[in-house]
Amino acid sequence: MTHTETYLAETVQIARELDYSAIEVLADQLVRLRDRGGRLFIVGLGGSAANASHAANDFKKLCSIEAYCLSDNVAELTAWANDEGWPYIFERALDAAKASTKDALLVLSVGGGTDTVSAPIQFCVSWVKRKSIPVMGIVGRDGGYTKKHATACVVVPTVEPSRVTPHTEGWQSVILHALVSHPNLQVNRTKW
């Protein structure tokens, strides 16, 4: 098989192994968030940060959920990193935004945050848990710190460890689009 055939066969396998009910739980949590008038703060690093930016747009535009990607403002992000330290970039931004139990955090991460990788994710999840703010996630591998502490979480199955990052980040986008087009969430139509 070619690389493309192998990669797409793995994609099909992931589609078969995904926990669909976990995606429905995420949808339910997002409906509850909107109903209580809360804000959705979305965090991710690297490719997951790009997915977080896209998700903030779609949740706001299509689902009427006030949504913010905490890595979109590079000036703020680097100011927090410079002044407070890299691990604190997201928690300091949430504190400045006066995040409360009315709000929620959505984590997009391949590893979900560990002691050695994605420290800003782990510090942020720890901070919101201390504030009793709901945590949701779309993560890969074993889900890491996010899965352990989330109210609702989808773990993208690992079918080929050498491609866990591209598969997880690709599936984040697929799952996010499933959510923003979910009949319980979508209130504004797409153009096409």
Show the CA angle centred on residue 54, arms to residues 48 and 59, nearest 5°: 115
Q: How many Cα atoms sit within 13 Å of 98 on the Cβ side? A: 0
Predicted confidence at residue 127, as pLDDT, reads: 97
Overall average pLDDT of the 164-182 stretch: 98
Predicted confidence at residue 115, as pLDDT, reads: 77
Overall average pLDDT of the 141-165 stretch: 96
b/e string for 168-181 if b means 16 or more Cβ within 10 A?
bbbbbbbbbebbbe
Q: What pLDDT band is residue 114 in, cutting at 50, 70 and 90?
A: confident
137 φ/ψ angles, rounded to the nearest 5 degrees: -155, 155
100 φ/ψ angles, rounded to the nearest 5 degrees: -135, 180
pTM over 0.95: yes
Tokens of residue 175, six digits: 């799952």
In the chain, the domains with their CATH numbers are: 3-180 (3.40.50.10490)
Predicted confidence at residue 116, as pLDDT, reads: 83
Helix, strand or coil, per DSSP, at residue 153: strand
Cα 103 to Cα 152: distance, rounded to the nearest angstrom: 14
63 φ/ψ angles, rounded to the nearest 5 degrees: -115, 0
At 134-151, the pLDDT tens digits run 999 999 999 999 999 999
